[in-house]
């Protein structure tokens, strides 16, 4: 009896001591610490950000993402006791929550009336604190978005600061509010609380980076930033994939191709370790190693193997031609290239290999590595699959990509682990995806869209990935889609239009949506996919330098003709451009912006990006924050001193001949400096019809091309973008301007 009493007293003393420590470090009351302690121990809560939240000067509104039944207990334990918590009906009545409800002031949530109550404004004006729990929706519907509008209005009336709070990992708790098929459960996932710096609505509107936006959108964007902050971006790419394996299950099938079948997370990371060990032995730490492979399981294994070994994966665009590949090898100082003999033979890329070798690289063949792997190596890797081969530094380079070269010589873009993971998480914070989805990726991994969006994003979010080797198989891809039943697909307008021409109506019927980028989506392509397949095309915009996604529409927050709204964590500013009345030159900043360039004149040397990045795009932004691309700065023609957007010319022509493809290019003109030439597949195109249509549309005479070059196909790059260099060369040749 005495021993039992002593043990009990010891436990109580330890409990009081631990609670006292939490009271001191977090600035909470002792009774809060006593009730918070079991939550802290069970879920190993990372709570450093809450000190800043508590210290926010009143009046303040804590906007909490309500993902599970645990958030009210956490917030009642950690926020100042005088905070008024607006709880949903279940939390207001839950018996288990009663001890925590005694820690603060609470009222029941009424979705119809609570947010228009004048009482809340009075509470805040009296230097009060308010905690509001908003539904955990990445893409809020009209009803959910009304809550953002109401909170923003209250904050404006009370001149209150807003502190968004997100508990990372809470949606995977056993008492999560998200359906289990969208968020697999775990008893004790590690929780990470993100609480952003307090800001007033006026400050949120000012930091948007463009002239106007709505208060609801400004609050929603800030809320999405808290979701991003709830993810640990400093873990490195290997750890991000490994953590996903822990979260969604090591035996979960995650990546599949048409030949090798499906790989689970465990098999993927086991193969990663085996291959990474072999590549580690043949290269040096931090070396840029070329990857010349198609969309298949092997390219994912190679990418992760190099990352695990502390190497940098330089993704080579094998469709760019021998001279560009040689330039890439020299620019990135690539000494070793990983490839496949079967792929080189099947794709007829012998000239690419010769060019790479002549530029100083040696080839390493996957077939030879595979045949030489021993049973012991496989067994050791199977035991150590969760461990990388080298320490992972998220600030160091992970990947080198090469710009598309659609307007000139490609440059090498160096992206860190943090750039890639941040961009994937930014996309997840904007687009509603889950492990219930299957993503069909036909875009090549040497293209940033196909790498980050089409490969890394599904790997770190538990979305099943199906890789297809070439986007140019227009007749085969619809048949594959009918068999594998994807819910998400990535593509470009060029590819999507081609698939629609060869597909049967049911081929893409399983899709929830298609994400399109790299080039503008034509209205005709959008209409066909809506009418025939019931699939919404959500258009986005990106740059290789931004890893690549910058802005994207969503199913509930989209606007046709725009590329959507800026991703969470990104900032923009517009610089005036002479001769452009609407919009300006886009400059960007954010965690996904590249480390810097490598250029041919300074091979292998990183030229760091300092501050803001000039995108080279001319854009306009409406008051809802939707971005419209007006054209590339390089894609403006200067005619008799006036700036004319070649992109606007293409839109004009597209409206006249919507089923054809067009490219507007500028060529020299002795009298006016430059003139516009239309390269088109429209066999019936003629200058007079175009002139009359332009007049009816109100277009200036300067932007209507008088020279028309008819071709069977518009030249495109491997990424699906129009090859404007080739199109301009065709125009100059046919017009006899080469001299």
Catalytic residues: 66
CA dist 20 and 33 (Å) reads: 7
Output Rg (C-alpha) for the chain, integer angstroms: 28
CA dist 151 and 155 (Å) reads: 6
User: Can you say how many angstroms the Cα of residue 589 is from the centroid of all Cα atoms in its chain?
Assistant: 15
CB-based contacts of 96, cutoff 8 Å, min separation 6: none
| Residue 628, beta-bridge partner list | 620
Burial of 63 (0-12, 13-18, 19+ CB in 10 A): buried
CB-based contacts of 253, cutoff 8 Å, min separation 6: 262, 263, 264, 464
Angle at 710 between CA 709 and CA 715, to 5 degrees: 90
CB atoms near residue 694 (< 10 Å): 19
Starting at the earlier edge strand, list the strands of the sheet with 397-402: 362-365, 336-339, 288-292, 312-315, 397-402, 412-416, 596-599, 602-608
Phi/psi of residue 168, nearest 5 degrees: -65, 130
Relative to beta strand 571-575, strand 584-589 is antiparallel
Q: Are 277 and 301 in contact (CB under 8 A)?
A: no
User: Can you say how many angstroms the Cα of residue 730 is from the centroid of all Cα atoms in its chain?
Assistant: 35
Start-end of H helices in 570-685: 646-656
Q: Are 105 and 82 in contact (CB under 8 A)?
A: yes
Q: What is the DSSP string of 128-173?
A: -EEEEEEE--SS--HHHHHHHHHHHHHHHHHT-EEEEEEEETGGGS
> Strand, coil or helix: what is 622?
coil
CB-based contacts of 516, cutoff 8 Å, min separation 6: 490, 491, 492, 493, 496, 537, 538, 539, 540
Q: Are 533 and 598 in contact (CB under 8 A)?
A: no
Angle at 246 between CA 242 and CA 250, to 5 degrees: 85
Closest CA to 288 of 238, 242, 338: 338
Closest CA to 539 of 521, 556, 565: 521
Closest CA to 368 of 295, 445, 279: 279
Helix axes 375-383, 265-282, angle to 10 degrees: 120
CB atoms near residue 2 (< 10 Å): 6
Q: Are 417 and 398 in contact (CB under 8 A)?
A: yes
Closest CA to 36 of 56, 54, 59, 10: 54
Relative to beta strand 549-552, strand 536-542 is antiparallel
Q: What is the DSSP string of 364-425?
A: EEHHHHHHH--HHHHHHHHHSTTS-SS---TTSEEEEEE---SSSS--EEEEEHHHHHHHHH
Q: Are 556 and 140 in contact (CB under 8 A)?
A: yes
CA dist 551 and 517 (Å) reads: 10
Q: What is the DSSP string of 659-681?
A: TS-EEEEEEEETTTEEEEEEEES
């Amino acid at each position: 009896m005495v021993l039992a009493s002593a043990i009990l007293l010891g436990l109580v003393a330890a409990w009081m001591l631990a609670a006292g420590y939490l009271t001191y470090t977090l600035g909470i009351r002792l009774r809060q610490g006593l009730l918070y302690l079991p939550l802290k121990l069970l879920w190993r809560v990372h709570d450093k950000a809450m000190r800043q939240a508590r210290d926010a000067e009143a009046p303040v509104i804590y906007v909490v993402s309500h993902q599970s039944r645990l958030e009210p207990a956490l917030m009642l334990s950690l926020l100042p006791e005088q905070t008024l918590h607006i709880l949903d009906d279940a939390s207001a009545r839950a018996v288990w929550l009663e001890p925590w409800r005694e820690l603060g002031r609470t009222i029941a949530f009424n979705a119809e009336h609570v947010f228009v109550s004048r009482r809340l404004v009075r509470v805040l004006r009296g230097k009060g604190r308010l905690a509001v729990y908003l539904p955990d929706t990445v893409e809020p519907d009209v009803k959910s978005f009304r809550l953002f509008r109401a909170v923003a209005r209250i904050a404006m009336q009370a001149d209150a600061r807003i502190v968004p709070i997100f508990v990372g990992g809470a949606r995977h708790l056993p008492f999560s509010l998200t359906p289990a098929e969208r968020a697999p459960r775990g008893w004790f996932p590690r929780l990470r609380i993100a609480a952003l710096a307090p800001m007033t609505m006026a400050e949120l509107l000012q930091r948007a980076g463009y002239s106007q936006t709505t208060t609801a959108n400004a609050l929603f964007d800030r809320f999405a930033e808290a979701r991003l902050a709830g993810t640990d971006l400093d873990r490195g790419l290997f750890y991000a994939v490994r953590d996903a394996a822990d979260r969604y299950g090591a035996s979960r099938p995650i990546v599949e191709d048409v030949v090798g079948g499906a790989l689970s997370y465990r098999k993927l990371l086991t193969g990663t370790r085996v291959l990474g060990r072999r590549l580690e032995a043949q290269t040096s730490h931090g070396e840029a190693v070329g990857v010349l492979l198609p969309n298949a399981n092997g390219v994912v294994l190679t990418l992760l193997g190099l990352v695990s070994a502390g190497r940098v994966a330089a993704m080579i665009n094998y469709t760019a031609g021998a001279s560009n590949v040689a330039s890439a090898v020299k620019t990135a100082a690539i000494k070793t290239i990983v490839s496949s003999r079967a792929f080189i033979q099947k794709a007829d890329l012998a000239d690419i290999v010769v060019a790479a070798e002549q530029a100083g690289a040696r080839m390493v063949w996957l077939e030879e590595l595979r045949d030489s792997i021993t049973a012991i190596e496989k067994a050791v890797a199977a035991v150590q699959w969760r461990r990388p081969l080298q320490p992972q530094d998220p600030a160091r380079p992970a990947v080198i990509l090469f710009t598309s070269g659609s307007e000139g010589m490609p440059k090498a873009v160096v992206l860190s682990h943090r750039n890639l993971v941040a961009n994937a998480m930014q996309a997840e914070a904007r687009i509603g995806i889950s492990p219930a989805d299957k993503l069909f990726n036909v875009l090549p991994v040497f293209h940033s869209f196909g790498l980050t969006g089409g490969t890394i994003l599904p790997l770190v979010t538990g979305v099943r990935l199906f890789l297809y080797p070439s986007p140019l198989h227009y007749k085969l891809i619809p048949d594959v889609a009918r068999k594998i039943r994807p819910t998400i697909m990535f593509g470009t307008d060029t590819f999507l239009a081609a698939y629609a021409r060869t597909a049967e109506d049911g081929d893409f019927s399983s899709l929830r949506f298609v994400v399109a980028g790299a080039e503008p989506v034509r209205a005709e392509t959008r209409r066909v996919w809506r009418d025939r397949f019931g699939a919404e095309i959500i258009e986005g915009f990106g740059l290789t330098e931004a890893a690549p996604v910058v802005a994207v529409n969503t199913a509930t927050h989209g606007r046709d003709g725009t590329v959507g709204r800026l991703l969470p964590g990104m900032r923009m500013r517009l610089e005036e451009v002479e001769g452009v009345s609407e919009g300006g030159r886009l400059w960007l900043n954010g965690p996904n912006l590249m480390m810097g360039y490598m250029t041919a004149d300074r091979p292998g040397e990183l030229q760091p990006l300092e501050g803001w990045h000039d995108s080279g795009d001319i854009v306009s932004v409406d008051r809802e924050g939707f971005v419209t691309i007006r054209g590339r700065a390089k894609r403006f023609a200067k005619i008799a001193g006036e700036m004319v957007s070649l992109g606007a010319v293409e839109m004009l022509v597209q409206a006249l001949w919507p089923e054809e493809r067009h490219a507007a290019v500028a060529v020299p003109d002795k009298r006016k400096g430059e003139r516009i030439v239309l390269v088109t597949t429209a066999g019936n195109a003629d200058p007079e019809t175009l002139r009359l249509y332009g007049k009816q549309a109100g277009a200036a005479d300067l932007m209507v091309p008088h020279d028309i070059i008819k071709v069977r196909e518009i030249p495109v790059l491997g990424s699906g973008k129009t090859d404007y260099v080739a199109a301009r060369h065709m125009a100059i040749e046919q017009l006899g301007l080469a001299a």
